[in-house]
Structure 1
């Protein structure tokens, strides 16, 4: 099981306040051993994955404090890497655990944490040797990125191999 670190205080805010959360319904029952707040946060994470079209019936999330475990039997390596990033780039999440599927010749994923003032072009020059290859990084991070100019400090990005 691999563990990736994220900037806990950076990312999209989806959890909101517990008081503002909608009450639990029959569709979102508490899981055994899971309190209402944890259940609410897991549902918010699942809703975010649905919004990004990364959710499927075999994606399972387990939240322990600020760590999320992502499990999926049917996802390929690229999709699972995107799941890790989609969940990890949420404000309040510090670590993501996942087992990436074995693929012949597959290398460990390369992730980059955006620093203040960086652009996709600068990141492309650093990793891919050519600033004009920024679009490859943008595509590798779809659907989490909607615009190449909208990255933020602390965000973690996939670097294509």
Structure 2
């Protein structure tokens, strides 16, 4: 089990609408165990829906959210290290999430990718030059982060990216 840190203010804004917003408002006005549990469940569902939207598998593991600590807990089994890392990034690159507890099991040992947090002024070319020594390797980073990235120029400060070996 490991804990990955993320920037709470950066990422997809999944918690500001619909069922998630209603549950969070109820929990903030009258914080009862039932309201807090409903808000956490709604947030977890929003994250699961975001994972599915990114065409990643959603079976074999559970996603839970603890709003008090801003932590997502992901536990279960996935097929590959790449899928595991993409699921962890989907969970963490969400506004309101500070950490992701990785309790995912991959049946075969594969090399882990490095993770990189984007800072102001970064481009995929700049990151590729720093990581690989060649700015033209930016597509390797882009492809490693698809489908979460849909264009090489659309990265933002605070976003965490997979950097494959």
3-state SS of the aligned residue for 2:62? strand
**Number of matched pairs:** 152
2:120 aligns with: 116
Superposed, which structure 2 residues align to 1:68-147 within 5 Å? 68-99=72-103, 101=106, 103-104=108-109, 106-147=110-151
Once residues 141 and 71 of structure 2 are traced to their aligned partners in structure 1, the CA distance between those partners, rounded to angstroms, is: 26
TM-fit CA distance, 1:33? 10
CA RMSD of aligned residues (A): 2.3
TM-fit CA distance, 1:134? 0.1
1:8 aligns with: 8
More helix by share: 2
- List gaps (5 residues or longer) in structure 1: 24-31
3-state SS of the aligned residue for 1:35? helix
Once residues 76 and 2 of structure 1 are traced to their aligned partners in structure 2, the CA distance between those partners, rounded to angstroms, is: 17
Once residues 124 and 54 of structure 1 are traced to their aligned partners in structure 2, the CA distance between those partners, rounded to angstroms, is: 25
Where has structure 1 moved over 2 Å in runs of 4 or more? Answer: 17-23, 99-104, 106-109
TM-score w.r.t. the length of structure 1 is: 0.85
> CA distance change for structure 1 residues 101 and 33 in 2, over 3 Å: closer, same or farther?
farther
